[in-house]
Amino acid sequence: MRKFMTIMIAVALIIAIIGCSGPGTETPAPEQPEAETPSTPEEPSEPEAEEPVAKEDITIAVIPQQLGNVVFLPAKEGAEKAGQDLGINVEWVAPVRADATLQVEIIDGLIERKVDGIAISCAHPDALKDALARAVDAGIAVSTFDADSPESGRIFYCGTDNYEAGFACGEHMVELVKDVDKDVINVAQLEGIPGAFDITARMDGFADAVEGSKIRVTDTVPCDDDVDKSVIVIEDLTRAKGDEIDAWFMAGGWPYVVGPDALPELRKWREADPANRKVVTLDVFPSSMAHFDLGLIDVAVGQNFYDMGYLSVENLYKHIIGEKLDGEEKEGFPGLFITTDGQVVTPENYKTEIPEE
């Protein structure tokens, strides 16, 4: 009996041991950390390419010096034709009179509107430079035509080399008066807005061309780029000092926008001694024909305003889309210089050189 009990106890112990080691009782081994995979540095993501600006969304504003000034009508035609050819928007935004303050107001409005480009004929270089610099800082492509503002930060100037045009006028004047039997030739000079870059350059060129000759400039009268005022100041000076004046140099063609009948004193002065009294002017208009018909102009140096308008818009567009611009660099001249062709009109060729109305 005792032997049997011993056997039963042993069996019970074995069963208990087996039961204690059954499923679900194992202590899980501590998890081993997974080996770290060396991280690959993230490659910088490429910036998304900017969508090219659609042509129809590009707007270039062209600002002449004055609304209705016939000098700028061909420039308007050229600018608008360039806009049509390129498929972009071109706006002609003109002040009612030649006034730098009015142009500044226009520029500030265009900055507010965030136009893409501005081409401007500056009424005065210093008065416009800060406003144009603001436009440049705002990301607007800025250029000048006809009358420059070199210190404004503009990209290029498009137009006549005004110094060279004035110099050419001076050379023609020297040639015209070389046989006049006088020791001194007194020249009266018409300017536009005093201090305007283009007019000052023309008068400087004229002065350098006649230096050392018997020509001297005795009177300079401003007309503020106003046709009516140009007629008044010319008539007044000719009436007062006609006998002392041997020649006229018009640094701009304002008085020839009107017909000869508007200048009776100048016409009488000229016709009193046509062989010895001379007139040289900048600019050629269809209305110049009547003055040449009467022999009232000896030489007119014309400018190509159509190309000024067209090339200004075309090259601003090129700049906006990142294409190479026309033009050249000149020593001491900031930005590019896009020169437009001119013409020399005389009594011998005026009938073929002057455009029809």
Q: Which of 314, 332, 339 is nearest to 324 (CA)?
A: 314
| pLDDT tens per residue across all 357 residues of the chain | 434 344 343 434 333 433 433 333 333 434 444 444 444 445 545 545 455 567 778 999 999 999 888 889 999 999 999 999 999 999 999 999 989 999 999 999 999 999 999 999 999 999 999 999 999 999 999 999 999 999 999 999 999 999 999 999 999 999 999 999 999 999 999 999 998 889 999 999 999 999 999 999 999 999 998 999 999 999 999 999 999 999 999 999 999 999 999 999 999 999 999 999 999 999 999 999 999 999 999 999 999 999 999 999 999 999 999 999 999 998 889 999 999 989 999 999 999 999 776
d(CA 241, CA 95): 35
pLDDT at residue 19, rounded to an integer: 43
pLDDT at residue 115, rounded to an integer: 98
d(CA 131, CA 145): 16
Tell me if 100 sits within 8 A of 125, measured CB to CB: no
d(CA 283, CA 285): 7
pLDDT at residue 33, rounded to an integer: 43
d(CA 287, CA 94): 23
- Token readout for 352 is 């073929």
Tell me if 119 sits within 8 A of 316, measured CB to CB: yes
d(CA 190, CA 242): 15
d(CA 340, CA 327): 10
Which residues make beta-bridge pairs with 159? Answer: 339
HSE-up (13 A, CA, CB side) for residue 148:
24
Which residues make beta-bridge pairs with 314? Answer: none
pLDDT at residue 71, rounded to an integer: 84
10 Å CB burial of residue 296 (0-12, 13-18, 19+) is buried
d(CA 147, CA 120): 8
Domains in the chain and their CATH numbers?
55-160+305-326 (3.40.50.2300), 162-303+346-353 (3.40.50.2300)
- Token readout for 52 is 């090219």
d(CA 117, CA 62): 8
